[in-house]
C-alpha cells in the first residue's frame, strides 16, 4: 500500500495532505525519514510515524468474506420476507456488501462497515477480476465460446468481453471458468442466455486476490492480513 494512502486510511489527513507530509519530510518508516510517494507500506510489519506519532489503521473496521447460498438476497429487505445475507452474519455494526449476487447465484461476497472501500471496489471504473464457476446444460461450441469472449450483443448493445475456459464436459453438462471485470447486472446469466445456454449453477469464487477457498455455504470469516491489505490498496 502506498504511503499516502496508508496515512489517509489512518484518519489523520486527506490523501493530498498526506502527500505534503511525505514531501516535507515529516514521515518516518521504520525510523527512517522518507520523502518518496512511491514508498510501499507493509501493514503487518512496517512502523509509520508522522511527526513522531505512530500511526495505526482504525480497529473499528471489519472485513468479512461470506459464501452466499442460493435463495438469499443481497439487499436488506425486499418487503416479501425472503432471507438475506445479513441473516447469516452476526455483527454489531451495519455492514455493506461489496458488489452483489442475484437470488439464485451463490459464492463470494465481501462485507464491511468501511463505506469508502465498499464504494471504491464496487465502482464501475474499478478494474478488478471476478471469477465464476459456471455449469450449463449440454455442450457449448467453440464458436459460441468465441462470442462470449468477444462480448455478446444484447438488444444492440455489446456486453463486456470475458475470459471463458471449459473445465469439464460430460454428456449432460459443461463446466466453465468465467472471468469478468465490470460485473454488470446479471452479466453472466445474460451472456449465456444470448448464446442459448441454460445455467445450472453459478458460483463466484474470486474477487481480485480474495478467494472463496473452502468456506462452507452460509458461513463467513474475517479476511486475513493479505486479503485485507489487497482490499485497502484498491481505495481510490
Q: Domain limits of the chain?
A: 3-54, 63-126+209-233, 130-207
| Catalytic center residues | 102
pLDDT in tens, 195-232: 999 999 999 999 999 999 999 999 999 999 899 888 88
Cβ-in-10-Å burial (0-12, 13-18, 19+) of 60 comes to exposed
Question: Would you state the cell numbers that stand for residue 172, as one nine-digit string?
Answer: 449432460
- Each residue of 133-159: b (16+ CB within 10 Å) or e? bbbbeeebeeebbeebeeebeeeeeeb
Pick from 157, 148, 158, 156: nearest CA to 188: 148
CATH topology assigned to domain 130-207: Alpha-Beta Plaits (3.30.70)
Confirm if 74 and 68 have CB atoms less than 8 A apart.
yes
Helices 115-122, 225-233: inter-axial angle, 10-degree rounding = 70
pLDDT in tens, 2-50: 898 888 777 677 778 889 999 999 999 999 999 999 999 988 889 999 9
pLDDT at 124: 65
3-54 against 63-126+209-233: fold identical: no
Confirm if 35 and 22 have CB atoms less than 8 A apart.
yes
Name the CATH architecture for the domain at 3-54. Roll (3.10)
State the distance between the two ends of the chain, measured CA to CA, in whole angstroms: 12
Pick from 12, 23, 19: nearest CA to 56: 12
pLDDT in tens, 38-47: 999 988 889 9
Count of H-run helices and E-run strands, the chain: 6, 15
pLDDT at 52: 92
Distances (CA, A) of 150 to 180, 203, 208: 12, 22, 21
Beta strands in 25-80 (DSSP E): 27-29, 32-34, 48-50, 53-54, 63-68
Whether the pLDDT of residue 189 is over 70: the answer is: yes
For 38, other C-beta atoms within 10 Å of its C-beta total: 9
Domain 63-126+209-233, CATH 3.40.640.10 — does that match?
Answer: no
**Of residues 117 and 180, more confidently modeled:** 180
Amino acid at each position: 500500500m502506498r504511503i499516502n494512502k496508508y496515512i489517509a486510511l489512518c484518519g489523520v489527513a486527506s490523501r493530498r495532505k498526506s502527500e505534503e507530509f511525505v514531501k516535507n519530510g515529516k514521515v518516518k518508516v521504520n525510523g527512517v525519514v522518507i520523502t518518496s510517494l512511491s514508498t510501499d507500506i507493509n501493514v503487518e510489519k512496517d512502523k509509520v510515524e508522522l511527526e513522531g506519532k505512530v500511526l495505526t489503521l482504525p480497529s473499528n473496521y471489519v472485513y468479512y468474506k461470506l459464501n452466499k447460498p442460493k435463495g438469499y438476497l443481497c439487499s436488506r429487505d425486499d418487503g416479501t420476507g425472503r432471507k438475506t445475507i445479513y441473516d447469516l452474519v452476526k455483527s454489531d455494526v451495519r455492514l455493506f456488501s461489496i458488489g452483489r449476487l442475484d437470488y439464485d447465484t451463490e459464492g463470494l461476497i465481501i462485507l464491511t462497515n468501511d463505506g469508502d472501500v465498499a464504494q471504491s471496489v464496487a465502482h464501475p471504473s474499478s478494474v478488478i477480476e471476478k471469477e465464476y464457476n459456471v455449469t450449463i446444460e449440454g455442450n457449448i461450441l467453440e464458436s459460441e465460446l468465441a462470442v462470449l469472449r468477444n462480448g455478446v450483443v444484447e438488444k444492440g448493445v455489446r456486453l463486456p468481453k470475458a475470459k471463458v475456459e471449459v473445465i469439464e464436459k460430460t454428456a449432460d453438462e459443461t463446466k466453465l471458468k468465467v472471468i469478468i471485470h465490470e460485473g454488470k447486472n446479471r452479466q453472466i446469466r445474460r451472456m449465456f442466455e444470448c448464446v442459448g445456454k441454460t445455467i445450472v449453477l453459478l458460483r463466484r469464487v474470486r474477487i481480485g486476490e480474495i478467494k472463496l477457498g473452502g468456506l462452507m455455504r452460509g458461513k463467513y470469516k474475517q479476511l486475513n492480513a493479505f486479503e485485507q491489505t489487497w482490499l485497502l490498496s484498491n481505495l481510490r
